[in-house]
A and B are shown apart, each in its own frame.
Chain A
Amino acid sequence: MEAPLLHLALVGTPNSGKTSLFNALTGSRQKVANYPGVTVERKEGFFVTPAGRQVSVVDLPGTYSLRGRSPDEEITRDMVLGRTPGEVAPDLILCVADATNLRLTIRLLLELKNTGRPMMLVLNMFDIAARRGVDVDVPKLSEALGMPVVTSIAVRKGGIAELLRRTDEIAAREQIPVGPNRWQPLTVSQLRATQREADRIIASAVTLPAKPDTWTARIDAVVLHPVAGLFILALILFLMFQAVFAWAQPLMELLSSAFDALGQFVHETLPEGLLQSFLQNGVISGVGSVIVFLPQIIIIFLFILLLEDFGYMARAAFLMDRIMGGAGLHGRAFIPLLSSFACAIPGIMATRVIDNRRDRLTTILIAPLMTCSARIPVYTLIISAFIPDRDVWGWFNLRGLVLFGLYAAGITSALAVSFLVKFFMLRDYAPAPFMLELPDYKLPRLKSIAIGVYTRAKMFLQRAGTTIFSMMVLIWFLASFPTAPAGAEGPAINYSLAAIIGKALEPLLAPLGFNWQIAVALIPGMAAREVAVAALGTVYAIEGGKEAADQIGHVLATKWSLATALSLLVWYIFAPQCASTLAVIRRETGGWRWMAVTFFYMLALAYLASLATYNIAVALGAG
């Protein structure tokens, strides 16, 4: 009979290297979902031990204690105690500690011991600790703690061999002994006592080097310097956006020509008719024009994950705390807002690190103003069609500068909105404490980052394959039916449902310089911003034939004025053009109210800003 699935749970403080250990154990066999009823991300992975035992491992949210002061920490507490409905209590808790920094983890571990669950301490990043002169007497530590202790190097091949071997040993026992649960929320004096006990155990089993990590001190001397630090932060952000433009280009062109070739192949293979039109114009050119942006999404996530792994994210929060505080934001809001550059959805979900409800609400309201990666397709398309590709001051590319300007406009307006919210809507606002560990710098773990980027790219492609695909089919349908009556003049699309809807909206959008084709594209753009590009592609492809589908940028350049293009760019900075973001806001704030507030304030901002842009541009002669 096959042995039942062994359930492991990873518990540790933030920055303990839990995620890199999780990635090392499970590789790409990961399943990301939500815990039922709450919006905490549930990460589960699977692996097989050397002895052939099937293991499931969950990566629980990082915490310093079991007090459960936020939804994430409550999940960790309830999972450890086996209280989460529909979840199995873990057979073995792996308490993950950064071997260079044991103090806070050992305190947590002493608290965890009260739960009576079987436990093992994993001293991760053991190589770094050894190099820094941290000397851990593993048998002595194991004896003092009363549990097995293993060392691991999650990033090195074979670095988790001992962990796997010990897991097998424990799993091989007939029954893993479970003690009685004596855990209760600790009082302040009990907390203090456990920290003292932890310090005593560390003093007896660990020898620490006299000096702290010199590299961290050296880097921080520059990176946290009041002037140089901000300059470096700006430089990193700027580099990120130039990279998105420059590095991704060759790959994007490759993908784009591959889809063109595929479309051409379908065009030549199939007989003229509805099926040919559906496959070529609906499916291939529609989905293709979205998938082309995969390289840019990979680059953005690569930057975010690298900075996080290096230890820079916490520094950025430190630098930005008071500056953001001036706009009514918490320093911790910086990380969710920075994640929102990739996508507002994980960004809004990441606001859970902010435990004050008001701070969190403000951050959620402005997160959609951060330029997410789904806007990049729209920006790229319009910029490359209307902004000349030339160098400015010998250094910068004009297109890169415009893109940077769009990002800057998003950030500035977000800070302004936050300030207004603080001033008018949440007057009785009390700043929540900013307390954050600044971890020592570590060389980014490339394999772990590769897995992280892969997981996110997969999510993007799944979205492209499901939501976006069905929207593309809908758009193709709207643009193709009803067909033009016999003997009708002009392109067939002028008689379609899409044109009827677009023309109905046109009077509303005309003051912004939008024609009905744009109005048609904006509707499916609600499913996901990038769909608007594909929709424009479909609308113009069907209207103008194959040449138009190949060169949508060129088509736009001939059909739109510069004023219209600028107006649409500005519209995309502000417009609430993403149904999923709105859905997440509703879920995270627990009601329709804040979702409605977000939708209408963004819509109003977009309309006014586009109106102003269009009219100023026309007045300056760009109409």
Chain B
Amino acid sequence: MSEQTDIRTSQPLGLAKRGYSGVIQHLAVADAASALAGHELESRLIELGFVEGARVEVLHEGIVGRDPIAVRVENVTIALRRREAMAIIVA
């Protein structure tokens, strides 16, 4: 771990509040309690542009339990549930 990431601690995107912006560090599909198998979830996240180094920003939150969230990934907006967003580690 470099000092850079220590200054801004990494966290799952699934816990981020509206207005949060950061950069994807890695995908940790084992941490997400998704209905999908790990490699399937990882494939889908990558196909929607969630890869290491991509800039993300939480734009909107749903009504019930602030879920799902709308996330800007580079220049695409993706809606997903917090449960799956737990697999995306950002800082």
Contact = CB atoms under 8 A, between A and B. Distances in A.
Contacts of B65: 322
B80 A433 contact: yes
A109 to B, nearest CB: 13
Nearest to A107: B47
A3 interface: no
B51 A318 contact: no
B28 interface: no
A35 to B, nearest CB: 23
Given A226-B61, A331-B79, 16 more contacts: A65-B43, A101-B75, A104-B76, A188-B39, A195-B49, A195-B51, A318-B68, A318-B70, A322-B62, A322-B65, A322-B67, A331-B68, A433-B84, A434-B80, A435-B45, A435-B48
A218 to B, nearest CB: 12
Contacts of B59: 217, 220, 224
A224 B35 contact: no
A500 interface: no
A477 interface: no
A381 interface: no
A103 interface: yes
B51 A433 contact: no
A367 B65 CA distance: 27
A93 B51 CA distance: 27
Contacts of A432: 35-36
- The 7 A-B pairs with the shortest beta carbon distances in the complex, nearest first, are A322-B64, A64-B47, A430-B35, A438-B77, A226-B63, A224-B60, A318-B79
A188 B43 contact: yes
A365 interface: no
A326 interface: yes
Contact of B41 (A331, A431, A433, A439): A433
Contacts of A101: 75-76
B46 A323 contact: no
Interface string B45-59: 111110110000001
A208 B63 CA distance: 32
Contacts of B80: 433-436
A491 B62 CA distance: 62
A317 interface: yes
A104 B75 CA distance: 10
19 contacts: A69-B40, A103-B75, A195-B46, A195-B49, A196-B51, A224-B60, A224-B70, A226-B63, A322-B63, A322-B64, A322-B67, A331-B68, A430-B35, A432-B35, A433-B36, A433-B44, A435-B45, A435-B48, A438-B78
Given A104-B47, A192-B46, A435-B84, A230 B77 contact: no
B48 A104 contact: yes
A319 interface: yes
A135 interface: no
A356 interface: yes
Nearest to A13: B47
Contacts of B79: 314, 317-318, 321, 331, 434-438
Nearest to B84: A433
A230 B63 contact: yes
B63 A323 contact: yes
Contacts of A29: none
